[in-house]
Structure 1
């Protein structure tokens, strides 16, 4: 079964205890008559064996356990699908869900029960990903509030393949999930990302792939009860729909991940290299065989994120136009560096009317009906916000 955002069963924390689960199956989500349960299993053809990319995780179950991390029941050696003996739709069983990406999996940290994200790094060619990620999350650098790079909690080598490594991190969410709702949230996002880019460059690291896919967020402020690692639209029980708070009231922290395309230069080393870059093929310098500045690639690609993910999508973000223009300057020699981009942005931000911060973000393709409905919801939300402040005396 492919990974998808489906409700998951919470009736049994140990899907292997089939008799206990079966006794309560009629009272839990997904419970269906036996004949229908059999038909569902046949119709959907849920995988009763691990997929090829899952086998590597199963083979390392005991090793990861020795390191203090327990994988989900599905990856225990000798796993047998819980739904085979239960009159339950397999979609409601925890162990019917595999993973989002073959190289990333959730686990329980045994010491405190916290959910962690483990990334398996198996590069086709040697990269400095782990070295750079560990450097940027070192104790000394982690004290800097401008450091928006992912923190590496643990790191260890694979016991079977010498080139494979594992890093352990906090579970993060895609930065636009849930969607942005107010103008001030965009202002905060832009500030944090330029700040993070400037921090990396200050420490001689060019990311190389500073694109949408590599920008995440620590969503705990807006999802204080957590979320399911796979069924990301549900709470940790895998069943209850999420009800996120507004990030304009509960600001989140944005995190830069994945340094497999990154390069770290020595102080004073010339900023001209070749064969550098990631997903974004728009930087003009890629069309030339001449060496180019990797740090200016970051400036361009981040400017492209602001353009494609915000300026093209929402109305009322005219204040981003000038910033985007300079960050996407075609000639990289004339393009500002991260420090100059930040100075430009801080000047722009200082002239944005504070009252606009809570304005609802309005998509360019919204229909009239959508605008009326969304506008009413935003108005009601703002009324509640103001009432809370009045009652609190603020």
Structure 2
């Protein structure tokens, strides 16, 4: 029998057993995942983290006392992921993310996350691991840990406006994975779902944590800038199956363990231990292939490097040091015209293309006139 583990299947089974499903549950009722958080509302409040009104034990659905439909109400928004919830930090009013971690299932997650949030590493620009503000256990639940992190968004939401914006994203991701590997940590699940961006400057008035296209009150669109106007930092999240190795272990091997990306060549029909760092190289390369090369126009310049990163033989993939060096060469070879060109979705029809190209050119002319760089750069 293969020893290969499918993490998604395990988690899905555990969540089904613990929290069930929200299918067919009326909006005025909490699903089992939400009940878990509501039952800890007071304890989290005492720790300084206030959950949204929906999870208060005294909650009364707002649509019951108004003329609104539940779909238009802030408290009608149900959690997307049962392990993660948003809260307001009462000390300063900042909205943060809380993650429930079962220490028995993921014994290394908190330690690795805190390692990269340590004083020695947190301030280093190349560090793109999600910051962790605090980790604590719940009363009477020694195996349950709550990790406090900033509120983030998926890395490709909102859409990229220009090639230059995407190039800066690639640079940060390569830099971040190189940083992790330099510190002997293999992420082991750094696919697109586990890449996020800091929306602080991009969305100055923030957004609703669940209905992310809406503002905080769910009564209008969440207004935002482009990444060219407000550069963003990208982060890797979810260290549930990550591992940290001693520097003396120069050639670690791990039994295959499935993350979110099911395309890893060395995991197919094999349970032989393999190099987790080479698998990371595949993951990040495959994320760029799937989200850009296959879905957008204009990224042909990335094809040769990505092809090397995702080749079947992990021994032939470049190390992240080499990938970073090669990407730097590619970036320096791109013209200003290329960098300022629009990111075009392959599914756009002619009407969409005309409308979006027109608005893009208006922005582009303004950016050039004001001397705004084609590749956004984070403030130093």
What is the TM-score of this pair, normalised by structure 1? Answer: 0.83
In the alignment, which residue of structure 2 is the partner of 1:272? 253
Q: What is the aligned partner in structure 1 of residue 8 from structure 2? A: none
User: Aligned partners of 2:116, 2:368: CA distance in 1, in Å?
Assistant: 40
Q: Secondary structure at the match of 1:233?
A: coil
Q: 2:227 aligns with which of 240, 244, 247?
A: 247
Mapped partners of 2:207, 2:106: distance in 1: 34
Structure 1 residue 329, shift from structure 2 partner: 2.3
Residue equivalent to 1:190: 170
**Counterpart check, 1:99 vs 2:83:** no
- 1:377 matched to 2:359: yes
Instruction: State the match for 2:96 in structure 1.
Output: 116
8 Å CA contact 1:248–1:358 kept in 2: the answer is no
Unaligned runs of 5+ in 2: 1-23, 373-380
Distance in 1 separating the partners of 2:271 and 2:80: 37
Counterpart Cα distance in 1 of 2:264 and 2:222: 38
Offset of 1:248 from its aligned partner?
A: 2.0
1:330 equivalent in structure 2: 312
- Write the distance in 2 (CA, Å) between the matches of 1:94 and 1:313: 33
- Judged with a 3 Å threshold, the aligned counterparts in structure 2 of structure 1 residues 350 and 60 are, in CA distance, closer, same or farther, namely same
Question: Which secondary structure does the structure 1 equivalent of 2:124 belong to?
Answer: coil
Give, in whole Å, the separation in 2 of the partners of 1:332 and 1:45. 46
For the pair 1:285 / 2:236, whether they are aligned, the reply is no
Note the C-alpha offset of 1:127.
Answer: 3.0
Q: Distance in 1 between matches of 2:137 and 2:206?
A: 29
Distance change >3 Å, CA 84–CA 337, structure 1 → 2: same
Q: Would the alpha carbon gap of residues 152 and 368 (structure 1) be closer, same or farther in structure 2, given more than 3 Å must change?
A: same
Cα deviation, residue 368, structure 1:
2.5
On the 8 A contact 1:276/1:294 being kept in 2, the answer is no
Residue 365, structure 1, aligned to residue 342, structure 2: no
State the 4+ residue runs in structure 1 displaced beyond 4 angstroms.
387-390
Following superposition, the deviation at residue 182 of structure 1 comes to: 0.5
Preserved CA contact (<8 Å) 1:172 1:219: yes
* Structure-1 residue corresponding to 2:335: 353
Q: CA deviation at 1:79?
A: 2.6
Post-superposition offset of 1:345: 0.9
- Secondary structure of the residue that 1:163 maps to in structure 2? strand
Are the counterparts in 1 of residues 73 and 218 from structure 2 also a CA contact under 8 Å? no
Q: 1:126 to 1:150 in 2, by over 3 A?
A: closer
1:164 to 127, 140, 144: 144
Is 1:298 the counterpart of 2:280 in the alignment? yes
Q: Give the superposition deviation at 1:207.
A: 0.4
For residues 244-277 of structure 1, what are the alpha-carbon distances to aligned partners after superposition, in whole Å with 9 as ceiling and x for unaligned? 2111232111110000111111112132221334
Describe the shift of the 1:71–1:251 C-alpha distance in structure 2 as closer, same or farther (beyond 3 A): same
Deviation at 1:126?
Answer: 4.0
Q: Is the 8 A contact 2:296 2:343 kept in 1?
A: yes
Q: Secondary structure at the match of 2:257?
A: coil
Write out per-residue CA displacement over residues 293-314 of structure 1, whole angstroms, 9 at most, x where no aligned residue: 0000000010001111001112
CA deviations over 1:96-144 (Å, ceiling 9, x no partner): 2222211111111111111111111136624311111111111111121
C-alpha separation in 2, matches of 1:381 and 1:251: 15
Relative to structure 2, which stretch is displaced further, 114-123 or 256-265? 114-123
Distance 2:183 2:77 in 1: 40
Distance 1:321 1:152 in 2: 35
Q: Which runs of 5+ in 1 are unaligned?
A: 1-43
Distance 1:186 1:196 in 2: 15
Greater relative contact order (Cα 8 A, min sep 6): structure 1 or 2? 2
| Whole-Å separation in 1 of the counterparts to 2:348 and 2:68 | 40
1:32: which partner in 2?
A: none
> Residue 237 of structure 1 is aligned with which of 209, 217, 223?
217
Whole-angstrom distance in 1 between the partners of 2:226 and 2:370: 14
Find the structure with the greater CA-based Rg.
Answer: 1
Q: How much is the aligned-residue C-alpha RMSD, in angstroms?
A: 1.9
Q: 1:72 maps to what in 2?
A: 52
Deviation at residue 367 of structure 1 after TM alignment: 2.3
Q: CA shift at 1:369, angstroms? A: 2.5
1:224 paired to 2:204: yes
